Amino acid sequence: MASLNVGNLGEYLREQRRNAQLSLRQLADAAGVSNPYLSQIERGLRKPSAEVLQQVAKALRISAETLYVRAGILDAERDRDDVETRAVILADPSLNERQKQVLLQVYESFRKENGFGADTDADTDSGADADVAVDGAEKVENPHS
């Protein structure tokens, strides 16, 4: 696992918070963390857990994976394209949350099919992708199932 780059993470979080026009207190409340703790993260003094990063990402409506890369939790080179694609999908204002999640599921199924999928436990993925129904659209099926 790469070492945490909390300075870079803190600067990025501050930039994202300001872009979202949120005060430090507002983001801390939305993420369920204390105001001083979030301030320390932004200043590069604390190393947040993946769970805290996920809560902050949700509050900022950005990709948690992006924060994991910034924090050094995920390998940036290996995961950069995947993270960027996910971030673009999650940031698209023309899609609702359900559509974003369905699109991410389809994207991940294609990545797995092509040998680039995320590491998963054998128990959670039997090799056959589930059919995904999209509101107002035809069912998308894996042709290799």
Contact 72, 2 (CB under 8 A): yes
CATH at 18: 1.10.260.40
Do residues 56 and 24 share a domain?
A: yes
pTM beyond cutoff 0.75: no
Q: How many domains does the structure of the chain reveal?
A: 2
Domain annotation covers residue 145:
no
Do residues 16 and 67 share a domain?
A: yes
77 — pLDDT class (breaks 50, 70, 90): low
Q: What residue has token string 């409340």?
A: 29
**Separation in Å, CA 53 to CA 8, 42, 49, 80, 140:** 14, 12, 6, 18, 32
Q: What is the mean pLDDT of residues 117-143?
A: 42
Q: How much is the pLDDT for 118?
A: 54
Do residues 14 and 57 share a domain?
A: yes
Host domain of residue 135: 92-139
Backbone angles phi, psi at 42, to 5 degrees: -60, -35
Task: Give the residue, 63 or 5, on which the prediction is more confident.
Answer: 63
Say whether pLDDT at 137 is over 60: no
Q: Which of 17, 36, 71 lies at the terminal end of a domain, its last residue?
A: 71
129 — pLDDT class (breaks 50, 70, 90): very low
